[in-house]
Amino acid sequence: DLVFEDSNANGQQDAGEVGIAGVAVQLLADGGVTPVASTTTNASGVYSFTGLTPGVSYTVVFGTPTGYTATVANVGNDATDSDADPVTGRSGSYTLAANESNLTVDAGFFRPASLGDKVFVDANRDGLQQPSETGLASVTVTLVSNGTALASVVTGADGVYSFTGLTPGVPYSVSFTAPQNFTASTPNVGGDDSLDSDPIDGVVTNITLTSGQSLTTVDAGFAPLTASLGDLVFEDSNANGQQDAGEVGIAGVAVQLLADSGVTPVASTTTNASGVYSFTGLTPGVSYTVVFGTPTGYTATVANVGNDATDSDADPVTGRSGSYTLAANESNLTVDAGFFRPASLGDKVFVDANRNGLQDAAETGLASVTVTLVSNGTALASVVTGADGVYSFTGLTPGVPYSVSFTAPANFTASTPNVGGDDTLDSDPINGVVSNITLTSGQSLTTVDAGFAPLTASLGDLVFEDSNANGQQDAGEAGIAGVAVQLLA
């Protein structure tokens, strides 16, 4: 009868299964080993032996066509099954009656199948293999059938894997073990099975192959589980190391990212208009350090004071943060850096000639006055005013409580403090000190003034007529008008 390609390897000639041409077929008689006849299948896979002797026991031996494997024998309907033993190629024995024609001695063969393709890095997380996306190495891929693992392979750098020598008609599944720091892509996106990712919960199920099939669309995408860090570079108005309400970001600050104690940045950025920066796409498990550049005119604030979500993490000397090792999908938005601009204070010591406690337009500066800057009871600096009476203290830290003391010069007395409502014109010291001065970042306080009024003296009295010439103003002795008096010094 027929040598056929058993597409599903079920041992039966199913609809649509075709014959195999050119297969060698031999006929043995009465248990012999020498063929009594030989033939090959025609273009339709059909063969026949005619002119046989009734009563003789015949056996048919089928050669295995190149690239094929014998299917299972004697399964189901004898008219359509395969009768060739899968190991020997021999049929059973047939003893024919006179004029009998037995057209049921068939042999089925199949070609081994294969499956596989690629495990890819789904960098853009769209579930599809883009031309620029690479293979993913070190992924374990396991072939399973009926609950039994048959084989496992590990992908190389190109992400390619394959399983060969598979039997058609057998239900297979393929499982993919997600590598560390990756997550499975969305399965079955779009309509092109050659580009999508197939596993659902890590497994592609219900794969049934046909004879000779090479299934190269069983792909798996994995998106990298990345991490991120960043946050804010802020102006610390009171230099307390915390982001307080109303404190704003600093734009254009250079920020670098180091990895695993390296010294060469793996990424660099600058803060945006709001002072915000971020590094994304970071590798979980790597130890990262952030290095903040110091913006021009600023000084780094104190680090690691108070709530970590709002503190400054940059070392004031090196600009480096601590080390951060991130988990997959972790976003650490607490790596901040605070900076402040040094502040200053000062103004003028003036001669309050009219003793009204105010700097009037005609009143001049007072020289040689010692002015001392004090904080928390410690004198930090002293200056002596020049002829213009002007003094200043610069490079001051915001948020620090300062006081300024003025040493009254000889023959002067302090003016009445805080006269009127204009702090730019009044005299501020009380008992020689202006206290509780707290500056903000970059502030230049130019209203700390001190007035001193000159201490003056007078002399004079009476020119009188000494009626009894005793040198005393006695009762009733009157003054003399119009007497010229001169003062010598």
Domain segments of the chain: what residues? 1-111, 113-224, 228-340, 343-454
Domain spanning 228-340 has what CATH number? 2.60.40.10
pLDDT value at residue 84: 98
Quickly count: other Cβ atoms within 10 Å of residue 384's Cβ. 12
Label residue 146 left, alpha or beta by phi (over 0 means left) and psi (-120 to 50 means alpha): left
Asked if the domains 1-111 and 228-340 are classified in one and the same CATH topology, the answer is: yes
**CATH number of this structure's domain 343-454, picked from the four choices 3.30.2350.10, 3.40.640.10, 3.40.50.10470, 2.60.40.10:** 2.60.40.10
**CATH number of this structure's domain 1-111, picked from the four choices 2.60.40.10, 3.40.50.10610, 2.60.40.2480, 3.90.230.10:** 2.60.40.10
**CATH number of this structure's domain 113-224, picked from the four choices 2.60.40.3680, 3.40.50.150, 2.40.50.100, 2.60.40.10:** 2.60.40.10
Instruction: Give the pLDDT means over successive 10-residue stretches in the chain (489 positions).
Output: 98 97 97 95 98 97 98 95 98 97 98 98 95 97 98 97 98 95 94 95 98 98 94 98 97 97 94 98 94 98 96 98 94 98 98 96 96 98 97 98 96 96 95 97 98 91 94 93 93
pLDDT value at residue 181: 87
In angstroms, what CA-CA distances link 462 with 459, 467, 486? 11, 15, 14
Q: Give the whole-angstrom CA distance, residue 112 versus residue 119.
A: 23
Q: Give the whole-angstrom CA distance, residue 305 versus residue 29.
A: 101
Q: Tell me which residue has tokens 């307080």.
A: 244
pLDDT value at residue 261: 84
Q: Give the whole-angstrom CA distance, residue 410 versus residue 406.
A: 12
Residue 146 in tokens: 């009926």
Residue closest to 337 by CA, chosen among 236, 229, 443, 440? 236
* φ and ψ of 164, to 5 deg: -120, 175
Quick: pLDDT tens for 387-411: 999 999 999 999 999 999 999 899 9
pLDDT value at residue 31: 86
Quick: pLDDT tens for 177-234: 988 889 999 999 998 999 999 999 999 999 999 999 999 999 999 999 999 999 999 9
